[in-house]
Every structure is written in structure tokens, then in C-alpha cells.
Copies of this chain bind each other. A is one copy, B any other.
């Protein structure tokens, strides 16, 4: 234990838990100050207050069971963590918690081409699974933007989305079965290896997107698909306004075309990307306009692209089609530069609302109005086929301080930014939308949960959580407030 360990402030039970963790899990347990500090962050920039009790690096199902048995015995909270790439604070190690790291459980246990499934440990990186599947002509469809760095376990825990959802579905649709360690250390198996199956309640779907609040996923059976055959065709289109771009994307859907990718960038987003990539790489991108990026795939790619091109031009777009991979890459690079451009700029609150597709233009209007009134820049990109918008609230700017380069910006999100986000969330709900399309509620969106779900629903959800986690130890503070803690007692009567 290092000198900076917070152990001297522990209540007795935490001390006992820590001793037991060391005794039973040995080197898998660390209380190194740097490791504890690192476990308090995720990619949202949010930092959990206080200091975790310990970080456990699990390497087996048995390790996870031991950690949870000890946590339950001593009533110590557990925060499950994969690669720490979440955007809602859901995997940030809270004060006094055991951070249960699963990134080292990274084995692909089986690839079964005949049954089109794979069995993986939770720490497998999404892209690593895809690399291994490619040799079999197969592909795991869920494609969060973080796929190069995020784990399958995290993808399942948040029911991750991505760019291809409108055509290929969200993570839930690719999960066949799970093995889960429950709060008391017991092992639950859900789902199956078959394509269909309706025996009992769909616990697999209930656990998918449950953000570590119901159990710890230690193994997953996932559905994989044949790699797409045929070429991919890419279209880039410039519109005079984001409203015009949104209208054009609605016409694509109304025309019953189903591009694999349809991304819409607003003028503010394009401004940041232009500054980041430079004039040469963004030649042709207008100032003040919006950019719509489409990709069609599979055997009908070219036909569909030609139809889409006609729709976009009729809608006033300056559209061009690229079937050459290099030229297509130049168009894709504009979209891909969005997050690096913002990250380079400073601290950003990345948001994630989703509205019915028909209300997307209105949602863009609301965002522009909030931005104009508050003075907060809100560059926005949308998965336009889904109505899923990512408005990015620019919080603070990176400042050049000395010869060593830029100082790290303050990661705190000030209350006036949350007030602007609050307005936006309420507008999304008013338009029939949701707080979060794919990032999860985590810690950061908890306070709006009741507004979206209503009393009956949230009450039921809390009671369901209590069935899985009667002592409220799993990711407390994620999804639900910790103030009330529900204890369920169950009596079996004849």
C-alpha cells in the first residue's frame, strides 16, 4: 500500500474488504495512487469525487466472483470498468468503491462460422474481434465511433450505437446470450446460441444497456454477419443550411433508400473541422453550409447511390459521388476529424439526444437558438438516418502557455453549460425524443431520467434493480440517484 493510499480514512468494513481482496486476489489488486486517480475518469472528462478503495484487474470469471463476494460481504460498492471510453461517467471509480477492471479479460473464446456467432470475454476490443472475424468472412455489426478502443463488454453495457445502426441495428440486436456475475458472486447464464428462442423473459436484452447496475458481464455470445460483398459508394453533399441538409436526409429515408451511413454536420462543426484539418484538406467545404455524408453498400450500392444522388440534387445539394476508395476517404476524413478537432480545441461536453427522424430539423433549430442566446458554441453532428444528434458544447479553450505546448484545459462542466444542456434535453423530450441515443445515462444524465421515463416507469426500474442488487452495490449513482436505496425482501409463500 502506498503512502498516498486513502486507507487511513476507511471505515472498518472497507479496511477489512481491502485486506480480503489482497489476500484472495493478490497482485490483481492495486491501491497505487496513480491507478486510483486514473480510474476516476472516462472519456467524458468527468472525474468522480473522492478516491476509490482499490482497482482490481480481473483475469477470470473466478476473480470477478471473488471480488463481488467480498464487496457484498462488506457492503462495498463496485464500479465495473472496461476500457474507460464511456461518455456519461458510468464507469468512473467513485469514492470508496472497488473498481473492477475487465480490460484484461480479453480472450476471444470461440468463432463459429457455421452458427455465425462468437463467444468473447468482456475486455475484447470491438476492432480486435472484427480483425479476427475477417479471416472467416465475418463481421460484428455494432460500430460505435470508439470501436478501435472500446470493449465488447462496454458496448453491451451501454447498448452502444454507431454509424451503421439505421441499417444494421444497435448492439442489443447482436447479443445472443450472456454470462453475468451477480452482486452476491453467483453466476447467471442468459440467452442462447440459437438464432431464435423465447424460453422465459429476455434477460439478455434487460442486461444489455444496464450500465453495470444489474450485474457484471463476464462472457458474451454475439451474433456475427457475413462481410458485405460488393463495392461501397460514398457521397458528399453540401447544403446551404443544416435545415436543408436535414430535409434532404429525410427525403432519402422517405424515398425508401437505406444508406449504411448518413451523417450530417452543421456549419459550426464544419468551422471547427476546417480549422483543424486546414484549407487544403477541406477545399470545397463552404463557410456557413452543412455537409451530408452518405455511404451505400452491398450489391446494389451503385444503383442506390445514383438514386440518392438524384434526391440530394433535387433537394438543392451540391452532391458528388465517389466510388474510388481514396477519393471516398477524403470525404470520410471530414466526418472523422470531428472529435479530434474538438478535443484539440479544449474541454467539450459531448451530448447524445435522439429524436424521431421527422423532427430532426426542428432539433437543429433549437440547438442553434440555444447557442445564439447563451453564446456557447455547439457544433453538432447527427446520425441522420437515426435522428441521433451529438451536440458538442464547447466549454473551455486550450491555451498556449509555454514552449512545451498547450496547458490541459479545466475539465469541469460549469453550471451554465448544464443549464443550456437542460434546455436542449427538454426540447428533445418535447419533440418525442430521448436524452441518450447511444451513450447511456451514466452519472451525467441521471437528473433528467425522471423527466423522460415518468414515475411509474422509474419506480418499476428501481425495483427491478433491487431484485438483482438488493444492497445497491453495483455502480451506485449510475442511472439512478443513490439517495434512496431500495431493499427488496422476498418471501416464498405457497
Contact = CB atoms under 8 A, between A and B. Distances in A.
B206 A201 contact: yes
Contacts of A491: 486-487, 489
Interface in A216-254: 226-227, 229, 250, 253-254
Interface string A467-494: 1100000000001000111111111111
Interface string A252-289: 01101010000000000000000000000000000000
Given A169-B173, A202-B205, A194 B483 contact: no
Contacts of A9: none
Contact of A464 (B170, B464, B479, B484): B464
B441 A196 contact: no
Contact of A356 (B115, B199, B250, B432): B115
Interface string A364-382: 0000000000000000000
Contacts of A19: none
A437 interface: yes
Interface in A119-167: 137, 158-159, 161, 165-166
A409 to B, nearest CB: 28
Contacts of A388: 194-196
A358 interface: yes
> Which of the listed residues A182, A195, A458 has the most CB atoms from chain B within 10 Å of its own CB?
A195
Interface stretch (A38-46, A61-69, A185-193, A338-346): A185-193
A492 B488 contact: no
Nearest to A159: B198
Given A437-B194, A490-B486, A200 B356 contact: no
Interface residues of A, number: 101
Contacts of A436: 197-199
A205 B172 contact: yes
A20 B196 CA distance: 42
A440 B194 CA distance: 15
A493 B487 contact: yes
A114 interface: yes
Contact of A196 (B117, B258, B354, B457): B354
A460 interface: yes
A441 B201 contact: no
Nearest to A114: B358
Given A196-B438, A202-B172, A463-B467, A456 B182 contact: yes
B112 A358 contact: yes
B461 A200 contact: yes
A303 interface: yes
A492 B486 contact: yes
A194 B445 CA distance: 18
28 contacts: A112-B358, A137-B256, A158-B198, A161-B198, A169-B169, A169-B173, A189-B457, A194-B388, A194-B434, A195-B354, A196-B434, A198-B440, A199-B434, A199-B436, A199-B449, A200-B441, A201-B206, A201-B464, A202-B208, A229-B256, A299-B299, A300-B300, A460-B467, A463-B490, A466-B490, A467-B467, A487-B493, A488-B490
